[in-house]
């Protein structure tokens, strides 16, 4: 038993050590002297430490050469050392309630000319760091961290598969929850419960968009009562215990929807399939967007597809790469992202089909496998 625990810690450590070294290498190539990372997905990715962003400064100080150091408030030391940080052997600099942690960080980086700050760092901390290091040029750390996060390793792909299976299990129950006379909010509450029951530790979003609400891509839930004939867009996701996220959309209809809607939905299915079939290493993100968009455009629905085709996913629901016109980034095996075309007709209805896919050596793998066609709920 103890032996097993030691082995798993050893594996974790080597992953984090390699990630820290890769960021240091990228920082050196970019002419960055140090990377500062406060609690959030970047810190979790680099160290395994899942810390909550708070007013007290917790910060990974990663010089481009030399040993990384964690600056941690005294009262968070136990939590930090219980995380993989404890076994990584990072130097821990703790600070007391009356100390100035920003000056502590500045003191660790004498003469640093360019420092990179994680993309989600609070403005208040950014500005205090600027005041403490007036000669250092501040840049965002995204360019040296996100290229790594975007390319998922085997363990991350396995984590996304698990998350995908968990959200599929929730979609499998949705037809049983949709009934005329229920409100979107009631259905949404039942779905949220099932997202947790399926193994997620948090519900990140629940969209139940019935009838005309379906025309708003980010509608959440409302007190609208579901009526016979309504299409219902259900887009749901959560985070698993390891931090990896799920995100999947299926569109349902409560009773028979309008005939024109069915026709459009068949076009949408072809569009979603066309984007997926275009996935291969070397293909640009914008080409994946165009593959599906052109199917909708050819059917006269181009103006109704009002958002990008997709977003990367991992420790965050929305991260790089973005599948959007203008993004010439070329796909590589291990990149994970959503393919989620839709159509949105204001005042009437909307539709979306969304899978999380992973670029493989010769195509794609979908982590979601629920049927993609319109799921019609029988009404008596």
DSSP 8-state secondary structure symbol assigned to residue 346: T
DSSP 8-state secondary structure symbol assigned to residue 151: B
Least spacing, CB of residue 338 vs Zn ion, in Å: 4
x-marked contacts with Zn ion along 261-300 as a string, rule CB under 5 A: ----------------------------------------
Among the listed ranges 101-109, 190-198, 228-236, 255-263, the one in contact with Zn ion (CB under 5 A) is 228-236
x-marked contacts with Zn ion along 132-161 as a string, rule CB under 5 A: ------------------------------
Establish if 247 lies at the interface with Zn ion (CB under 5 A): yes
In this structure, the strands spanning 310-312 and 248-254 are unpaired
Least spacing, CB of residue 215 vs Zn ion, in Å: 15
C-alpha to C-alpha distance for 239 and 234, rounded to whole angstroms: 17
x-marked contacts with Zn ion along 349-378 as a string, rule CB under 5 A: -----x------------------------
Least spacing, CB of residue 304 vs Zn ion, in Å: 17
Element (H, E) at 24: helix 2-29
Q: What is the dihedral of CA 293, 298, 301, 302, to 10 degrees?
A: 40
- Counting beta carbons within 10 angstroms of the beta carbon of residue 272, is it exposed (0 to 12), middle (13 to 18) or buried (19 or more)? buried
Least spacing, CB of residue 313 vs Zn ion, in Å: 7
In 3D space, the residue among 295, 283, 279 whose CA is nearest the CA of residue 342 turns out to be 295
Least spacing, CB of residue 298 vs Zn ion, in Å: 24
**Cβ distance to Zn ion smaller for residue 230 or 247:** 247
Q: Which position among 152, 338, 349, 374 is part of the footprint of Zn ion (CB under 5 A)?
A: 338
C-alpha to C-alpha distance for 233 and 353, rounded to whole angstroms: 9
**Cβ distance to Zn ion smaller for residue 33 or 355:** 355
CA distances from 223 to 175, 183, 217, 362 (A): 19, 5, 17, 46
**Cβ distance to Zn ion smaller for residue 95 or 265:** 265
Contacts with Zn ion by CB under 5 A lie at 235, 247, 249, 338, 354
């Amino acid at each position: 038993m103890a032996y097993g625990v030691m082995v798993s810690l050893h594996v974790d450590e080597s992953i984090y050590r390699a990630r820290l070294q890769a960021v240091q290498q990228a920082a050196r190539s970019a002419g960055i002297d140090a990377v500062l990372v406060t609690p959030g997905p970047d810190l979790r990715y680099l160290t395994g430490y899942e810390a909550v962003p708070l007013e007290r400064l917790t910060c990974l100080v990663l010089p481009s050469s030399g040993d990384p150091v964690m600056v941690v408030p005294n009262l968070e030391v136990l939590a930090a050392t219980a995380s993989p940080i404890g076994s990584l052997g990072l130097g821990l600099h703790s600070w007391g309630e009356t100390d100035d942690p920003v000056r502590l960080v500045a003191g660790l980086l004498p003469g640093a000319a360019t420092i990179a700050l994680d993309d989600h760092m609070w403005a208040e901390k950014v500005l205090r760091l600027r005041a403490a290091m007036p000669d250092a040029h501040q840049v965002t750390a995204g360019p040296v961290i996100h290229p790594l996060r975007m390319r998922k390793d085997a363990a991350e792909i396995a984590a996304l598969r698990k998350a995908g299976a968990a959200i599929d299990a929730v979609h499998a129950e949705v037809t049983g929850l949709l009934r005329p006379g229920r409100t979107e909010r009631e259905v949404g509450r039942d779905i949220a419960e099932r997202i947790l029951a399926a193994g997620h530790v948090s519900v990140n979003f629940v969209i139940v968009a019935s009838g005309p609400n379906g025309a708003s891509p980010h509608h959440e839930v409302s007190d609208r009562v579901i009526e016979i004939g309504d299409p219902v867009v259900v887009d749901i996701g959560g985070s698993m215990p390891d931090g990896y996220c799920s995100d999947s959309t299926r569109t349902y209809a409560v009773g028979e929807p309008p005939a024109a809607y069915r026709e459009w939905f068949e076009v949408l299915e072809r569009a979603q399939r066309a984007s997926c079939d275009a996935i291969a290493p070397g293909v640009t993100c914008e080409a994946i967007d165009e593959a599906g968009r052109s199917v909708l455009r050819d059917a006269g629905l181009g103006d109704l597809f009002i958002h990008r085709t997709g977003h990367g996913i991992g420790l965050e629901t929305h991260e790089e790469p973005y599948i959007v016109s203008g993004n010439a980034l070329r796909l590589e095996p291990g990149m994970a992202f959503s393919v989620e075309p839709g159509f949105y007709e204001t005042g009437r209805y909307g539709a979306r089909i969304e899978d999380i896919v992973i670029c493989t050596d010769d195509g794609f793998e979908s982590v979601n496998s629920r049927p993609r066609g319109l799921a019609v709920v029988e009404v008596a």
